[in-house]
A and B are shown apart, each in its own frame.
Chain A
Amino acid sequence: MSRILLAFRAFFAILFGRPLPQEIKPAAPKPQPAAPAKPNPAHALQLLAILQRDSRLLDFLMEDIASFEDEQIGAAVRSLHDQARDSLARYLSLQPVIDGVEGAYTRPATADPAAVKFIGNVPANRPEGGTLRHKGWRAAKMELPALNPKQDASIIAPAEIEIE
């Protein structure tokens, strides 16, 4: 399009209040990097509190298990594992990112590097596909109970005092 023609179209567009031609619209401002969202520690602690309450997960992680026999750790973990898994399943719906077979050739549907990570001899350009090594995890749904605003969120598990 000639510049004269463009100048006239812009002139009349301004005169009659019509939208400006695409060519002379000012470029949209470059998006500023968004300030990182402030994490809400309450929800993270809430999930930890649930796992501690239902399965004693935090007790287990914080315990020094170096001195125990494998058999004793195994016995404790067996019941802890069942309960942790149950309560995860109750509040989160967990799915693989790629629902495929690990070890098989896979073409990912998405290019999002947060969802699919290429490892090994990765060529210069993004490859079409490769061998699926890890299916990944995605939380399809998360339904945590509403937080009680009157409650101190930093308490993950209350202390217990028994009256004998």
Chain B
Amino acid sequence: MEPRYIIGIDLGTTNSALSYVENRPDGDPLALPKVELLAVPQLVNPSEVRDENLLPSFLYVPGAADFPAGATALPWDNQPETVVGRLAQKRGVENAGRLVSSAKSWLSHGGVDRTAPILPFRAPEGVPKYSPVEASRRYLDHLRQAWDYKMPDAPFAAQQVLVTVPASFDAVARDLTLKAAEQAGYQNVTLLEEPQAAFYAWIERHPDWRTRVRVGDLILVADIGGGTTDFTLIAVTEQGGELSLDRVAVGEHILLGGDNIDLALARLVAGRLAEQGTKIDNFQLQALWNNCRTAKEKLLEPGNKKDEAPVTILGKGTGVVGGSIKAKLPRADLERLLSDGFLPAVTSQEMPARQVRAGLQELGLPYAADAAITRHMARFLRQQASSAEHGGVRRGPSGLACPTHILLNGGVLNSVLIRERILSVLNAWLGGEGFPPVQPLSGEDLMHAVSRGAAYYGLARRGRGVRIRGGVPRTYYVGIESAMPSVPGFAAPLKALTVVPFGMEEGTEQRIPNREFGLVVGEPAEFRFFTSAVRKNDQAGDLIEDFGDDLEELAPMEVNLAAEQSAAADVVPVSFETVVTETGMMQLWCVARDGRRWKLEFNVREVRS
């Protein structure tokens, strides 16, 4: 049955949103229906449910002393076990030990078991914990319940749903996101990359987009959210006489965003206060963090010429005036932080400082070691030089990928000054390569663009509107230990067999030729699994030997052949087959000579070291 609505869900690191569009297959193909935003009912205060356009991605685990009885009731649940949304975020400031935040970043963190209850990460003994997958499930579940409450005539389960993930999410993180959605009762789910969704939102807003870009254009999508930064390149190509869009490159997962800027400002102001002998505690730092965000936004408003913005922390006790701490955020400090810290005017040759991995790392999220967003952008564009010639990528003499257009997305980029700074850095690089300045594609409604774009993409998948051809954004490999006599102190050299080539398209499958493995019946077989965002030339079946730092190890893949499936032999020779489903999920299968197949599953419980 045709779904009545197509739902786009932006499952964000700090905020989530839900947009939807009516699916009218018989409607005018040139006049697409409008994409709407669902106001999500959520607890905003104890005993107060209100509609808000964003659902903050926070989970609070209440204890007996947290809320009065009945104060966390939702229209669809009288006694929820956990609190999701604005109230969770507010209460979490007062009691951080029970707050789950940035679950999405944990979902993509290979250093921990992502299905184990590990969040809240610093919860005191006795507080129930949830896995990153379970926390994500609860956000998705809240959105589903909110939909069913507001749209009783069109049950969520009967609609087509698109959930966005960062382009930099690897196969494991995508798989876990899909699992969370399925566990939240989602039935027709497709994953979509966020920068692509942001670009779809731009197309939705500009029905004349075909007159704004031409064949050969290269569009850089820079998505700077609260906690993450994501880069993507989209090439405009031609197919059958029609303009067509190809996603040609995605960047690495960078845990760096607007929140970092605000926190750095708060630390700066707190440091100034400490010099004057005023110490502030953690709770006051939170208030200062919020106030610095407001002050930053005020100072960055176009036309604001003030030299400083006041930042006040109100007194903690009943003495609100007497106990208040007065501070200022000077414009000079803000500009220095942006120009030296987050958005320095670097050359396109400057690469971000690499993370130095100490032998014993403190567990926690692997935040970006270098805060300079411009340096990360330089690396992203530079990396495209070392990879294969791709038809749609325009390059300068030095090999730097040189976009013709840029689409900026994410809340931080609401500020004109920040947008201009990024443009001026990029334009300086382009000038150096002999190209004219980049053309900005004006995005609107930056907080909701991703979910809106996702809903629009749902229409595009139904043949109504343009669709970006993407394919798998990375190359994937299975590790094969070479048969060499082992030498003490040295690991056996590892070779990598290409199983999923870059750009392998949705809805296709590929047999990996020339290589068979003997699987022992009744014993789980495990394969080491690797990925690379940089190597784009490797074809299925290629065996790579000296890959240096190009490959990144993922969670291992495992398969278990039950004994009764093969009574005759103890060892079954199998070869690999790769499938990329229509919904964008990647699957690896073992295929026996007689055609029997077993699916490989990620083993995320075994934490890679």
Contacts and interface: CB of A to CB of B under 8 A. Distances in A.
Chain A partners chain B: yes
A145 B45 contact: yes
Interface residues on B, range: 20 to 34
B492 interface: no
A72 B310 contact: no
Interface of A: 53, 56, 59-60, 62-63, 65, 68, 72-73, 75-80, 145-151, 160, 162
A60 B320 contact: yes
Nearest to A57: B320
Contact of B314 (A65, A79, A146, A149): A79
Contacts of B69: 150
Interface string B183-203: 000000000000000000000
B276 to A, nearest CB: 15
Contacts of A148: 46-47, 68, 70-71
23 contacts: A59-B315, A59-B319, A63-B322, A65-B321, A68-B321, A68-B322, A73-B321, A75-B312, A75-B324, A75-B326, A77-B321, A78-B310, A78-B312, A80-B314, A145-B45, A145-B47, A147-B47, A148-B46, A148-B70, A149-B70, A150-B69, A151-B68, A151-B71
A56 to B, nearest CB: 5
B320 A63 contact: yes
A162 B283 CA distance: 10
Nearest to A82: B294
Contacts of B48: 145
A84 to B, nearest CB: 12
A72 B318 contact: no
B312 A76 contact: yes
A122 to B, nearest CB: 41
A73 B256 CA distance: 38
Contacts of A80: 314, 320
A97 B326 CA distance: 38
B50 to A, nearest CB: 8
A72 B49 contact: no
B575 interface: no
Given A79-B314, A80-B314, A72 B47 contact: no
B291 interface: yes
Given A75-B324, A151-B68, 10 more contacts: A53-B45, A62-B318, A65-B321, A73-B321, A76-B320, A77-B321, A78-B310, A146-B47, A149-B70, A160-B316
Contacts of A145: 45, 47-50
Interface in B31-49: 45-49
A109 B376 CA distance: 65
B319 A63 contact: yes
A150 B46 CA distance: 12
A75 B49 CA distance: 32
Interface in B299-352: 310, 312, 314-316, 318-322, 324, 326
Which among A56, A68, A148, A150 has the highest number of chain B CB atoms within 10 Å?
Answer: A148
A62 B316 CA distance: 15
A78 B49 CA distance: 28
A62 B488 CA distance: 76
B324 A72 contact: yes
A53 B48 CA distance: 13
A71 to B, nearest CB: 8
A91 to B, nearest CB: 10
Given A75-B326, A76-B312, A79-B314, A150 B320 contact: no
Determine which residue in A53, A145, A149 has the highest number of CB atoms from chain B within 10 A of its CB, and name it.
Answer: A145
Interface in B258-299: 283, 291
B70 A150 contact: yes
Given A63-B322, A68-B321, A79 B312 contact: yes
A164 to B, nearest CB: 9
A145 B49 CA distance: 8
Interface string B60-95: 000000001111000000000000000000000000
Nearest to A157: B318
Nearest to B90: A53
Contacts of B316: 160
Contacts of A78: 310, 312
Contacts of B322: 63, 68
A76 B47 contact: no
A3 to B, nearest CB: 67
The 10 closest A-B pairs by CB, nearest first: A145-B48, A148-B47, A59-B320, A76-B321, A76-B324, A75-B326, A56-B320, A151-B68, A150-B69, A79-B312
Contacts of A72: 321, 324, 326
B291 A79 contact: yes
Contacts of B312: 75-76, 78-79
A139 B563 CA distance: 76
Contacts of A147: 47
A68 B315 CA distance: 14
A16 B47 CA distance: 61
Nearest to B71: A148
Contact of B68 (A65, A76, A79, A150): A150
Contacts of B324: 72, 75-76
B21 to A, nearest CB: 29
Contacts of A53: 45
Nearest to A73: B321
Contacts of B50: 145
B314 A56 contact: yes
A77 B326 CA distance: 12
A53 B322 CA distance: 18
A62 B47 CA distance: 26
Contacts of A56: 314, 320
